[in-house]
Amino acid sequence: MSVIELDDVVKRYESGAQTVTALKGVDFHADRGEMVTIIGPSGSGKSTMLNMIGLLDTPTEGTVHLDGRNVTGFTEDELTEERRTTLGFVFQDFHLLPMLSAVENVELPSVWDTSVDRRDRAIDLLKRVGLGDRLDHTPDELSGGQQQRVAIARSLINGPDILLMDEPTGNLDQDTGRTILEEVTRLKEEENIAVVAVTHDEQMLDYTDRTVRIVDGVIQS
Ligand SMILES: Nc1ncnc2c1ncn2[C@@H]1O[C@H](COP(=O)(O)OP(=O)(O)OP(=O)(O)O)[C@@H](O)[C@H]1O
Ligand SMILES: [Mg+2]
């Protein structure tokens, strides 16, 4: 069973008198242990698609299934809960809080969790991305690649089923980008999660299990 599935998803944006149909009947799925990369020209609908998969926006038509559950009619509260427990997000510009240390940034999405082992899990994740000796450093004391590794550790703190990455190597040089992608590949297997990435970065295709091309809101087969 796929952890995420879009069926015949249409997304229309209304702005003033104009309607833009950003997704024109998109089918998509991703399975555990698989990295799927969505690639396509600027304006083709990649971010719109990632927003549907990440439950950050809702389709105009069509359905979204997460772990086999139809989440299409979910309320905003239910979607928020679903995002917190099922999804991890990594962005191009890392989105770390500057006043917090690496370990505090990683712990942040789990502050609601009263279990005692949050700090241990955060430290474990940071060690697994090679930052065991940078736990107390703040983002400005870390390189770009190290900051992105903190962001990846943070995305995994709640044990998601799906990791979504929007241009995760966009702000990194090529070698650092490769190191990050190698780490994501390893974590994907260790945690048995699905990874869905959006990119312009052709080198990401070396690490992906499957590539989905989108042009003008339509998936190319
Ligand atoms: N909030 C919005 N209101 C109106 N139109 C929008 C909105 N968001 C996106 N669009 C339009 O939908 C289409 C798809 O946009 P989207 O952001 O998904 O493209 P993209 O593939 O992510 O592009 P890029 O590679 O430049 O990030 C574009 O034509 C865009 O202008
Ligand atoms: Mg985009």
Q: Which domain CATH number covers 185?
A: 3.40.50.300
Residue-range definition of the domain harbouring residue 144? 34-51+84-220
Q: What angle do CA 92, 137, 95 make, to 5 degrees?
A: 20
Task: Inform me whether the pLDDT recorded for 167 exceeds 80.
Answer: yes
pLDDT in tens, 140-165: 999 999 999 999 999 999 999 999 99
**Atom 6 in ligand 1: which residue has the minimum CA distance?**
13
pLDDT in tens, 92-136: 899 999 999 999 999 998 877 777 688 999 999 999 999 999 999
Q: Note the pLDDT of residue 196.
A: 97
Six-digit token pair at 98? Answer: 């500057």
Q: Note the pLDDT of residue 116.
A: 66
The mean pLDDT of 29-48, rounded to a whole number, is: 95
Residue 58 counted as domain residue: no
216 C-alpha to ligand 1 centroid (Å): 10
Task: Inform me whether the pLDDT recorded for 61 exceeds 90.
Answer: yes
Q: Note the pLDDT of residue 174.
A: 92
Task: State which H helix or E strand residue 105 sits in.
Answer: helix 102-107
Residue 196 counted as domain residue: yes
Ion ligand 2, residue ranges at CB < 5 A: 46-47
Measured from the alpha carbon of residue 20, the closest ligand is 1
Look at 5-9, 21-25, 71-75, 216-220 and tell me which has the smallest mean pLDDT: 71-75
Count up the domains in the chain and report the number: 1
Q: Specify whether the CB–CB gap between 56 and 129 falls below 8 A.
A: no
C-alpha distances in Å from residue 92, one per residue of 26, 132, 165, 205: 24, 23, 8, 17
